[in-house]
Each structure stands twice: as structure tokens, then as C-alpha cells.
Structure 1
Amino acid sequence: MMTPEQKFARWVRVSIASFLLMFVYFIVADIWIPLTPDATVMRVVTPVSSRVAGYVAQVHVHNNSPVKKGDLLFELDPTPFINKVEAAQIALQQARLTNQQLDAKIAAAQASLKTATLTAQNDKVTYNRYQRLSAMQNVSQQDLDKVRTAWQSSEQSVNALRANISELMIERGEKDDSRNVTLQKYRNALTQAELDLAWTKVRAEADGMVSNLQLSPGWNAAAGSAALALVSEQTDIIADFREKSLRHTHPGSDAAVVFDALPGQVFHAHVTSRDAGVLAGQEAVNGELSAPESSNRWVRDAQRMRIHVALDEPLDQRLPTGARATVQLYNSEGPFARFFSGLQIHLVSLLHYVY
């Protein structure tokens, strides 16, 4: 028969042994069969906005509508954009007419240049003849000066016409309409107006589900301002582990996942990738000196790193983005590790019935 002191001493020894056993277990388990409740189901969420501003004319979807890539989501009132297209078409046609008028002016100026050139040549011949006559004292100096002035005026007219033709040709630009700068400017304006008109119909850029719809006919949609969110069908499970827990983890490592929404069920999975870093490892370049982190603790909190996990088989039901999960890693292939890791994750799956 043990005395009370002996019973107490026995319980103390059992407690110390249990504590040491659990302490060793958690250290080994955190390396070879780590588990984390910090896991989340993530889907790519794309904010959808119109590329042009305008009033909403029609909304073709509602919250939780499944859509495919290219499906029409909503439309803006196209009237002002149609007017802009018509104005751009008129401006382009007017530019073509202006070029035709310039072609006519150039042709008229070239005809005038030919006439002025002939006149200048005749005036020069006359001046040369008068020079010879003046040398023989057959014409007066006054007549010679008049002929010289007429010839010089003719030459100035020719130069002025050539300058005018050059100016008109510069204004006209390339004869080839496809290379004409003026026409290209108006064609670009027309293309942009047609593009803006096409953008009044906002379509899905990928398959997904509509969420957080904030649209109704008559609502003024600002360009670039999100009006709804498109949640992708592709699922990504992210899990955050302590750094030392990932020493033996690599892409392809086996894993198991338990979702809070599906208690009692364990799903087989595998590690697909590991993030290159976390925000704490990114230093902003702001022109200031670095500020080393200081701590008065001997052992600081462990840093957590993120890995990505994919299920081996798809789920029967779609979980929303943000759904929480627990991830168990199998860093060891040994039967001991397999047994206890399976025990851990199944225990967690049962606990989800409670919390």
C-alpha cells in the first residue's frame, strides 16, 4: 500500500515523463510531419470595370451568375460613342476632301509656274537683246532698265510660285493615303472612337462566377472603377508553415487537407510550389538608411513561409475563395511518420465537427 507521498511522487514522475515525451514528439513532428491550420482556399478574383465612362444601359448578370469567357456582363449607353464615331468618320472624309483641294491648288500652281517660267525666259531674251542694242547706242538706258526690271520681276514670280508649290506639297503630305500623316491622324481617331464604342459592351475575360455586383441601369460607371468581381474556377490552396518545418518539403511532397466546411473528410494532396519570399524580406527603396530589426528576446518568433498545395482529386462541391483549411505534410515516408501524420489530420477533421 503506497502512502500519499509515494502516490504524489509517482504522479509527478508520470507527468514529467509525459511532458518530455510530448515535447520530443512535437519537436520531431514539426520537422517530419508538420501540420498547420493557417491554410486558405484561394481563387483568382478579377475586378471587372468598364474601360470607358458612361451610364449603364443593361445588366446581363446577377450575383453568383456563372459566366464563360466572352459572355456579355453589362452594357453602357452607346449613343455618345456612336456620335463620336460618326464625327471621326466625317473628320476623316473632310481630310480627304481637303487633300483633293490641295491637289487642285498644286496643279493650278504648277500650271502658273510653267507660264511664269516661259515669261521669265522671254523677258531674259528681251533683256539680252536690249543689252546688245544698248552697246550700239540704239536704245536708251531708261528702256534697258525697264526691260531688266521686267525680267527680274518675272524671275521673282517664278521663285514665289515654286515656294508656294513646296508649301502646298508639304501641307498635302504623301500621295499614298496609307502613308499620309494627316489621314493617319484621323484614321487613328476613328479607330479609337470605334474601340471606345466596342468597349461599351463589357465581357468576361475568363470563366468564373460573378460576385459583389454593384450595378443597375442608370448607374454612372467610371472608367477603371470596379463594378463587380469575377471569381475564377481555378482553386489554389495556400498554407503557411514555420521555416524549419519546410526543410524536407519539396514540390511533389505528399500532403493531406481538411476543410473547415467539410468536417470529417480528409483529402489527399501534394505540394506544387513554394513562394520565393514574404513581405518581411522585401525592403522598400526610399532613399533612407536601413533600420535593423532589434529584439530583446533570446529566441524570436519563427518566420512563416508559404507553400501551394493542390488536391489529387477535385472536390465534389465548389468552396468559396477564402475558405479555411488545415494542411498536413508528409516529409517522411516511414511507417511511423505515416501513422502519426494520418492520426493528426484525422483528429483535426473530427474536431471540425465541434469548432
Structure 2
Amino acid sequence: MDLLLILTYTGICVAIFKAFNIPLNKWTVPTAILGGIILIGSLLLLMNYNHPYTKFGREFFVSTPIMPAVRGVVVDVPVKPNTPLRKGDVLFKLDQTPFIAALAQKEAALADAELQLLQLEASYESAKATVAKATAEKNRTQDAYERYEKGHRKGGANSPFTDLELDNRRQVYLAANASLASAVAQQERARVAFEGTINGENPIVARAKADLAKAQYDLDQTIVRAPSNGFVTQMLLRPGMVVVPMPLRPAMVFVQTDERVFAGAFWQNSLLRIKEGSEAEVIFPALPGRVFKARVTQVIPAMSEAELQASGSLAGTQRFIQHSRPIVLFELDEEHMNEKLGLPLGLEGEVAIYSDHFTHVSIIRKVLLRMGSWLNYLFA
């Protein structure tokens, strides 16, 4: 931009000297040079501060490493590289044989758990019957003991019941009472086993259903699908390969086309003039002669050059020497530019932001930006 402004001023000076036949001497040439330094210097200072520009702009996109949730052998890869995909399209399939077998095993385990639940119900009903029987036996022995005890007390020495018979009846009654207590405890144990629940469901059945759901999930994960709209590129996956759910070994890389942003790195001197919503323009070397409208969406509130993390080493003076630029995010007015023009993602570009200060100077910035766009036709 600076070179364009200097060349433009030089061209204007040459034209004026030619048109008005101004002689080249020790007064006219230094005057033109000094005037150029003052004029261009003032314009550059005003433009660079109030209407910042950077040649460090780039379109960024998100890529997702595709890893299966389960280990398996690849049996089919229907996806074609660099072909647009919709969310949910099949990327590749794994051999389902072991997962189908595991699912059948868990279904059988659930059926067995439901049978165990019926058995627990039967055990509970049996325990209740045992308690009823023990209660009746306890009541019978209690009546007999009380009858013997009453007759022995009234008869005195002429009692029809001996001390031994009374003691036997007491022991029988106490044994029946103990049997009843044991039956009640067994009934309570059977009731807890049958009626105990987790979220309203028997624990045995709930555990079997959870295992079945896990087996069904594993089976569903044998078909790996696209996480969003996008495409797969540089794909090397082939049938017969074994894939594992490890972060360090993705099976393929999926490029998302729904999440992308254009960003530029600016000098820190212009931060006070960069506001959210400000008008901006972008040019791309790949699209000479074209200028795209944009607006500032955000100034990222941190710069990576100053980042510190807890580690076993100290930060050195390199942190202070390294220059940092704030990153500004933009939204281009023309959506899906890459798809319309058949261009790859990740284009680099140049950006100019126009603030509300010294708006008349922004016209020069716009002219220079368009001149730079036309210069993109020339490259070595």
C-alpha cells in the first residue's frame, strides 16, 4: 500500500512537471520530494491509525479427526474423497459380527434377569406364606402354653399339668416365636430383593438393560457417519484395515464447511479504531480485481505470544522479544464464496477496516485496496 501511494504521487508529479513545463532544478525537485514526504507521511499516519490495513489475512476452517468409538475391521468405505457430504452420511463401516453376537448375549441376559425377577416375586410370596404359617403356629403354641399355665396355677398341688409339661409347652411356644421372627426376616429380605428399585426399576433388570443399551450403542457405532456438512480429503482408509478408538490414530480427517471464519492480524497501534461491526473490505490474490465487503465480528481478547502454562520450565526473554498482533475476526457478506467459485478453503487475503474517524481519508484506502487487487493479476 505504501509503495502504491508513493508511485501514485510520483506519477502525479511527473505529469505536472510535463504539463506545465516546470524545470528540474535545485528548487523544484526538493520541493516536490519534501511535499511528497509531508503529504504521503500525513496520509499514511492518518490511514494506518484510523483505517487499519493488513496483508496477513486468511480464511480458517475446522477439521475433525474421525475416530470410531469401537475397535473393528473396516469392511466398506463408500465415501469418495473431496466430495460434498451432508451431516449423517456414511463415511465407513466396520464388521458387525462380534457386536451382533454381543447384542444377542445381552438380550439373553435381559431375558434371564426378567426370569430372575419372577423368581424373586415367587420367593417373596413364599416368604409371606411362611410368615403366615409361622404366625399361626406361634398363636397355637401360645394358646396351649397359656392354657397349661392357667390350669397349673389354679390347680396348685392338684394341678392336672406337671411342671415338666408346663415347661415343655413354654419351650414349644418360644421356639414357635423364634421361627416366626426368622420367617419375618426372610420375608423382609425377599421383599427388598423383589421390590428394591433404581429409578423405579429392579436393579437386576436395570443392569441387564444398561448392558443391552451399551451393546446396541457399540453396534450402532460400527457405522461411522459425517459429523456435519463437509467433505473428506486425502483419504487413505481402505477395507481390511483395523481401526481403534485412539486420539493419536484417526482413521480420516473430515473438513467442516459449516464452520469457517476469515481473520486478520493487525498492528497493535490500531486497536482503538477496531470496533465490532465496523465496515471492512477484503481482497484475495486468487481473485484479482474483486473486492469483497465484510464487517468486524470480534477482536479475539488474547494473544498467544503472551500465553503461560504451568510446566517444569521457566519463561525466557524470548517471550518479550517476540512481536504479537491482535487477531480480528470478520464476516464476509458473500457467503459460500468458495463453493460458488470452486476455490479451496484456506485462502489468504488482505483486509482494510474503515472506522468513523477521518472518513474522507478512507477513500484513499479504498482506492489503494482496489489498485492492490488489480495488481494481483501480476505475479512471478
- Aligned residue in 2 for 1:266: 291
The alignment of Structure 1 onto Structure 2 pairs a total of residues equal to 346
Root-mean-square deviation (Å): 3.2
1:328 aligns with 2:368: no
1:112 aligns with 2:125: no
- Aligned residue in 1 for 2:300: 275
Asked if 2 retains the 8 angstrom alpha-carbon contact of 1:41 and 1:320, the reply is: no
> Residue 90 of structure 1 aligns to a residue in which SS?
helix
Question: Using the alignment, how far apart are the partners of 1:331 and 1:301 within structure 2?
Answer: 28
Relative to 1, partners in 2 of residues 1:175 and 1:273: Cα closer, same or farther, differing over 3 Å?
Answer: closer
1:199 aligns with 2:221: yes
> Residue 66 of structure 1 aligns to a residue in which SS?
coil
- Aligned residue in 1 for 2:43: 25
Asked if 1 retains the 8 angstrom alpha-carbon contact of 2:70 and 2:218, the reply is: yes
Structure 1, unpaired ranges of 5+: 1-5
Aligned equivalent of 1:166, options 188, 203, 208: 188
1:88 aligns with 2:109: no
Relative to 1, partners in 2 of residues 1:129 and 1:334: Cα closer, same or farther, differing over 3 Å?
Answer: closer
Relative to 1, partners in 2 of residues 1:332 and 1:145: Cα closer, same or farther, differing over 3 Å?
Answer: closer
* 1:22-56 deviations in Å (ceiling 9; x for gaps): 44333222113322111111122222222222222
Asked if 2 retains the 8 angstrom alpha-carbon contact of 1:239 and 1:307, the reply is: yes
Please, what TM-score do these two structures have when normalized by structure 2? 0.79
Deviates more, 1:286-295 or 1:47-56: 286-295
Question: Using the alignment, how far apart are the partners of 2:359 and 2:302 within structure 1?
Answer: 33
> Residue 327 of structure 1 aligns to a residue in which SS?
strand
Question: Using the alignment, how far apart are the partners of 2:270 and 2:285 within structure 1?
Answer: 23
- Aligned residue in 1 for 2:209: 187
Please, what TM-score do these two structures have when normalized by structure 1? 0.85
- Aligned residue in 2 for 1:102: 120
Deviates more, 1:152-161 or 1:337-346: 337-346
Asked if 1 retains the 8 angstrom alpha-carbon contact of 2:197 and 2:203, the reply is: no
- Aligned residue in 2 for 1:217: 239
1:344 aligns with 2:365: no
- Aligned residue in 1 for 2:18: none
Residue 8 of structure 1 and its aligned partner are, at CA, apart by 7.9
Question: Using the alignment, how far apart are the partners of 2:186 and 2:282 within structure 1?
Answer: 83
Deviates more, 1:192-201 or 1:323-332: 323-332
* 1:319-346 deviations in Å (ceiling 9; x for gaps): 3333211112223586752442133223
Relative to 1, partners in 2 of residues 1:129 and 1:335: Cα closer, same or farther, differing over 3 Å?
Answer: closer
* 1:114-144 deviations in Å (ceiling 9; x for gaps): 2222121111111112213333232222222
Residue 98 of structure 1 and its aligned partner are, at CA, apart by 0.9
Give the letter aligned to residue 320 of structure 1: P
Asked if 1 retains the 8 angstrom alpha-carbon contact of 2:278 and 2:354, the reply is: yes
